[in-house]
Every structure is written in structure tokens, then in C-alpha cells.
Chain A
Amino acid sequence: MRSQYAIKQLSIFLENRKGRLKELTETLYKAQVNIRALALAESAEFGILRLVVDNPEKARSVLSAAGFTVKEQSVFAVEVEDKPGGFYQVVKLLSEADINVDYTYAFVGGGDRAVLVFKVPDENFDKALEVVYKGGIKLVEPIFFYGS
């Protein structure tokens, strides 16, 4: 299932320095890379920007060339109804299977369905996919993010 549902997420180390986010987004814009989902984690001095983009290879290479530290990791995404309890359903399944969620964030698009991105510890990745799938939740294939 991993090969079918694993989505490449890029994590980028950012100093909390004026203009750095602008430089990053400008680099992606110039390479015509589209950001599909994002989240920013931060401490007082630095942050990590997490991105799911339409072309991860290209994004990674232009960001590295521009001097950013980039790490690629696997995440998965699910589609739930955009109504109370949608998020709960997924988290409950993972929790019952004793899988810790490192972090999660939502897809930027609209519509009546919500797309949620989940990062779990790598050793639990396959198990998480299985649990969610068996729990009747729709897993989103990478083509949803990568396709233009």
C-alpha cells in the first residue's frame, strides 16, 4: 500500500530571518512549482516549512540549489466529509491502533470534502495505511497532488 499511497512531503529548515519565506516561495514560483498543501512548525528561532507540491523532485532541486536544507519524507492523505467528526474518525482509528500522529494538516482546496495530510513515525507508516483503509476511510493517491 505504501507505494500506492505514500505522498512525498518536503520539510525545509528556515531561520526566523526577515525575507527568508519570501525567497523560498519566490524560488518555487520561478520554477513554476505549485504548493498543494502546507504547514509551518516553529520554535522561537527557527521553523520548518512542510510542503506537498505538484512536482516534489523539481521543488527539491531548485530549493537545494537556492541554499535551503530540504528533507523528503513520506506522508499519507485521507479524504473525509467536511462536517463535524470527519477528522475525529481518522484520529480515533490511529489512536486505537496505538499509532502516534507526529503532525497533521489540511489541504488548501475547497469543496464539500476535506483532505487531511498525516505524518506518522516511519515504522508505523504501513500499519497506519492499513488501519485507515480497513476503517473505511478513503486514502488519497499521490496523483491528486502531483497531477496538474
Chain B
Amino acid sequence: MKPNAADYLSREEFEALQLRRLKETVTRVYNLVPFYKAKFDEVGIRPQDIRSLEDIKNLPFTTKQDLRDHYPFGLLAVPMDQVVRIHSSSGTTGKPTVVAYTEHDMKVWIEVMMRSLLMARVGPGDVVHNAYGYGLFTGGLGFHYGAEALGAAVVPSSVGFTKRQLMLMRDFGATILCSTPSYALHLAEVAEEEGFDPRNDFKLRAGFFGAEPASEGLRQAVAEAWGIKYFEAYGLSEIIGPGVAASCEYGELHIFEDHFYPEIIDPATGEVLPEGEEGELVFTTLTKQALPLIRYRTRDISRIYREPCRCGRTILRMGKVVGRSDDMLIVSGVNVFPSQVEHVLTKVEGLTPNYVIVVDKRGVLDVLEVWVEVDERIFTGDLGSLENLKHKLEEELANHLFLRARVKLVEPKTLERSMGKAKRVIDRRELQEKLGG
């Protein structure tokens, strides 16, 4: 059987499979994880009360804070002697979140990574240049194992040493690039600086990009800079790592819902929203053994669609992640997602989407600034055209955000560009509050 056979099951087959697995998972966590037993008892629900998939709405949510509160192994449903892998977040925003895998979990992870990579028909003969971070971060090893299982040659380059990476990509004839989208763009920029033409001097044909939000403009910029097909990899370590969803050749993001059951909820009330509506994505793992999660709140804002895709897959689709419920900035009472700002910036022709959003307080008022890099592609040498650009951006931002934002043009590469996740927002209001200012 092909590793991606499940992508084409009928809806009836799917739902029967999901219900069976959901019942098993709920029974397991109730019996094996004291945290879940206490939470279920609190709302008066028992595993046998789950009779249909709809009944999932009666189960309590799990949050990142729950994982932190039970650091490191408090939520595990298996004894440590069954754990074969442990990953962890960096913990920069609090205590690290720890995730563990049994041998079976690893098989599931490899399967969904294979299904992701098969979207681009990755297989023997492909050279997969894997520039996701190796180590505690799930990105590197997730792609590594999936590509290897498909018989591709994997180059485990990890992040950093950009010029050396480019040399390896050229010399080894990389056909597939795996990285964050911002790093893929950075690689293309450095390739150009080094005198290469990324579209013609490399053999890349496709890339799998994820681990950070990317606007349509950034996707296009990456695809155009390299002349490749852009595939999106969506995932989060709490659920499994990369491999929760992947985009097909039509750019539609398919959720591997035989393993991860999705719901969209209203982030404020927790109510399940009707199909197609925008809200917070919630996942229940259906097959995980070491760290099953019930209705885990991803904080990602998206939609889900059930109708079949042009690619023939029957597994449902999620919309692009438009923001994170905890990345959402509230500026002067208006909700602002960094992705909206990025969308505006990339609409303006020729603009490299490298920017930082700065929110500050002037007196009692919130002030929104967008710092945009002026690089050689937009710099005409003319003062007037830069001023026009600034005004045009300010106008477009006001139209899209329903809020005044001041655009500040800055010199290239002065903005902080991390090798992994790009830091896009500086909220100085928090700092002032912490300092008591």
C-alpha cells in the first residue's frame, strides 16, 4: 500500500476510522493520564459518552500552559521505557514544552512526513537539502526521516553558514529545499550577492516551507526567486511536528485527519464554528501513544473545508494560517495580524517583504510603525520616489488595517533577521508596562 493511500479514503471510511480512534484515545487518556481524568470528571464526561464525532465538542480543551504546568513528563500516557524520542521547544516564552514519541509515534510521524513530501512526488533520485534546524526543534529530524523513508538522498545541513549551504546545494545538485520561507528568501538573496542566478544555477524543483507564518507575497517571492514550486508544510511539535498538514500541487493545504482531528472554534467563547468560518484551529490526536492531546488549542487562526480537492484527495483542507490568536496585536482597539501588514507590503511591486512592526505608546495613544527595508531593487536613487513609496504604503496600510500606521524606510539588513523564525513584531508597550512606565 502506498504511504499516502489514506489521503484518498471516502468520507464514510474516514469518519468511521476517526470515531474508532477517537474513542480509543479518549479511553486511554482517561485511564492513563490523571490530568485528563480530573478534567473530564470536572465537566462530568466519561469516555463512553463519546458516541459520535460531534460529541468531541463536549470534551475540555488542552492548552500550551497545560503542557508547561506538567513539565516535563506529566502528560505522558506511556511509561518512559516506551519512549524513543524527546523533543522540546526552546522555552524562550516560558517553560519549555516537551513532547515525546513511542516507536509507534515515530512510525506515524514518518508516515505523515512521507505523505507531505509525496505532494511533490519526492522519491529516489531526489536530493533533499534540509535547512530546518536539527536538534530539539522537530523541523529538521521530521523532514529528515520522511525524505529518507521515501528513498531520497538527504543533506542534513541544518541552519546557518549560508554561503556553505549554497555551495552544497549547487555541488550536490539539490532538487528539494526544506526551510523556513524567510530563510529560503535569504538564501536566494545571498546566492545573488555571490553572483549566482538562483533560477538557473541550481537544480531545485520544489521546496517545503513552514514553521513560521508566510503571506501570499512571501510565498510568491520565494517561488519566483528560486523558480520552484512552493509547498507548504504545516505542523506544531505538540501535535507531532511538521506533517500535520501539507499543501498539494494546487496549493491546497491538506490535514492528515486520520491522525489529527481538526476543529475550528471561536477563540473567545470556545464554541465550534460552522465549516468555512475563520477561527482558532484545534487538534485532537487520534493515534499518538506517548503524548495524546485532546482538543489542543493551536492558537493558529484558519478555516477548514470539507469538499474534495482538485488533486483528488478526500482529506479535508485548511485555509492559510492568517495569524495567531496570541500574535494578534490590539492597537488602539483594532485587531492587527502581522500577516495583514505583510500582505500590504508585498502588494507593492518590487518590495522585498522584510519588515518589522513596532508598536509603541505615545502618551495614552498606541502608535503603530512599520519599518521597511530599502534594498537595491526598490532604490531608484531618487528621493521623490522613496517618499511616494512611503505614502503609498501608508495609504494601503490604512485601507487594510483600518488604522493609521507610520512607515519608516530603513537601510537593508539592519532589521533583525534570525536564521530560524523571523522576529516581526516589537511591542514596546509591554516593556513600558514591565518598567512601570
Q: Which residues of A contact B (CB under 8 A)?
A: 11, 13-15, 20, 41-43, 45-48, 50, 67-73, 102
Q: Which secondary structure dominates where chain B touches chain A?
A: loop
A102 to B381, CA, bound (A): 11
Contact of B413 among A14, A20, A67, A73 (CB under 8 A): A67
Tell me if A41 and B374 are in contact (CB < 8 A).
Answer: no
**B414 contacts A71, C-beta separation under 8 Å:** no
Bound: A19/B386 CA distance, A: 22
5 new A-B contacts, CB < 8 A, other than A13-B379, A67-B411, A70-B376, are: A11-B381, A11-B382, A48-B382, A69-B376, A71-B380
B234 to chain A, nearest CB (A): 34
Q: Collect the chain B residues with CB atoms within 8 Å of residue A13's CB.
A: 374, 379, 386, 409, 411
Residue total for B at the interface (Cβ-Cβ under 8 A): 17
Interface residues in chain B, defined as those with a beta carbon under 8 Å from any beta carbon in chain A:
374-376, 379-383, 386-387, 408-414
Supposing A15-B410, A15-B411, A67-B411 touch, asked if A48 and B375 sit within 8 A by C-beta, the answer is no
Min CB distance A61 to B, Å, is 11
State whether A14 touches B382 (Cβ < 8 A). no
Q: Are A43 and B376 in contact (CB under 8 A)?
A: no
Q: How far is the CA of A48 from the CA of B227 in the complex (A)?
A: 33
Q: Which residue of B lies closest to A48 (CB)?
A: B383
CB pair B413 A71 closer than 8 Å: no
Taking CB as reference atom, which chain A residue is nearest B407? Answer: A45
Given known A11-B381, A13-B379, A48-B381, contact A69–B386 (CB-CB < 8 A): no
* Residue pair B383, A69 in contact (C-beta under 8 Å): no
- Taking the nearest CB of chain B, how far is it from the CB of A53, in angstroms? 15
B409 engages A14 (CB within 8 Å): no
Inter-chain CA distance A48–B409, complex, in Å, is 12
Q: List 22 A-B contacts (CB under 8 A).
A: A11-B379, A11-B382, A13-B379, A13-B386, A14-B411, A20-B411, A43-B383, A43-B386, A43-B387, A46-B374, A46-B386, A46-B409, A47-B383, A48-B382, A50-B381, A68-B411, A69-B374, A69-B379, A69-B412, A71-B376, A71-B380, A102-B382
- Chain B residue, CB-CB nearest to A69: B379
The reply to whether B409 and A45 form a contact with Cβ atoms under 8 Å apart is yes
In angstroms, how far is the closest chain A Cβ from the Cβ of B198?
18
Residues on A with C-beta less than 8 A from B381 are 11, 48, 50, 71-73
Across the A-B interface, how many residue pairs have beta carbons closer than 8 Å? 49
The 5 closest A-B pairs by CB, nearest first: A11-B381, A71-B381, A41-B383, A69-B379, A73-B381
Residue of A nearest to B387 (CB): A43
Q: How far is the CA of A104 from the CA of B382 in the complex (A)?
A: 13
| Smallest CB separation, B55 vs chain A (Å) | 58
Chain A residue with Cβ nearest B380: A71
Question: How far is A45 from B380 in the complex, measured between Cα atoms in Å?
Answer: 17
**Cα–Cα, bound, A102→B413 (Å):** 29
CB-CB < 8 A to B408: which residues of A? 45
A140 to B387, CA, bound (A): 32
Question: In the complex, A69 Cα to B414 Cα: how many Å?
Answer: 11
A59 shortest CB reach to chain B, Å: 14
CB distance from A14 to the nearest CB of B (A): 7
Closest to A73 in B: B381
Q: Whose C-beta in chain A lies nearest to the C-beta of B373?
A: A69
Q: In whole angstroms, how far apart are the Cα atoms of A50 and B379 in the complex? A: 13
Closest to B413 in A: A67
CA distance A50 to B383 in the complex (A): 11
Alpha-carbon separation in the docked complex, A83 to B312 (Å): 81
How far is the CB of A123 from the nearest CB of chain B, in Å?
14
Collect the chain B residues with CB atoms within 8 Å of residue A15's CB. Answer: 409-411, 414
Known A13-B374, A43-B387; contact A69-B382, beta-carbon cutoff 8 A:
no
Q: Which residues of B contact A47 (CB under 8 A)?
A: 383
| Complex: A43 Cα to B382 Cα, angstroms | 12
Provided the pairs A43-B387, A46-B386 are in contact, do residues A71 and B379 lie with their beta carbons within 8 angstroms? yes
Residue among A14, A15, A67, A68 having the largest count of chain B Cβ atoms under 10 Å = A15
Which residues on the A side are within 8 Å of B374 (C-beta)?
13, 46, 69
In the bound assembly, the distance between CA atoms of A136 and B411 in angstroms comes to: 42
Could you tell me the distance between the alpha carbons of A11 and B376 in the complex, rounded to whole angstroms?
A: 11
Residue ID in chain A nearest B409 by CB atoms = A46
Chain B residue at minimum C-beta to C-beta distance from A10: B381
Smallest CB–CB gap between A11 and chain B, Å? 3
Which among A13, A14, A20, A68 has the highest number of chain B CB atoms within 10 Å? A13
Q: Using CB atoms, name the residue of chain A closest to B193.
A: A64
A50 to chain B, nearest CB (A): 8
Q: Which residues of B contact A11 (CB under 8 A)?
A: 379, 381-382
In angstroms, how far is the closest chain A Cβ from the Cβ of B411?
A: 5
With a cutoff of 8 Å between Cβ atoms, the chain A residues found around residue B387 in the complex are 43
CB distance from B186 to the nearest CB of A (A): 15
The interface residues of chain B lying within 8 Å CB-to-CB of A46 are: 374, 386, 409
Min distance, Cβ A40 to any Cβ of chain B, angstroms: 10
B413: A residues at CB distance < 8 A:
67
Q: Shortest CB–CB separation between residue B193 and chain A, in angstroms?
A: 8
CB distance from A119 to the nearest CB of B (A): 9
The residues of A that contact B376 with a CB separation of less than 8 Å are 69-71
**B410 close to A69 (CB less than 8 A):** no
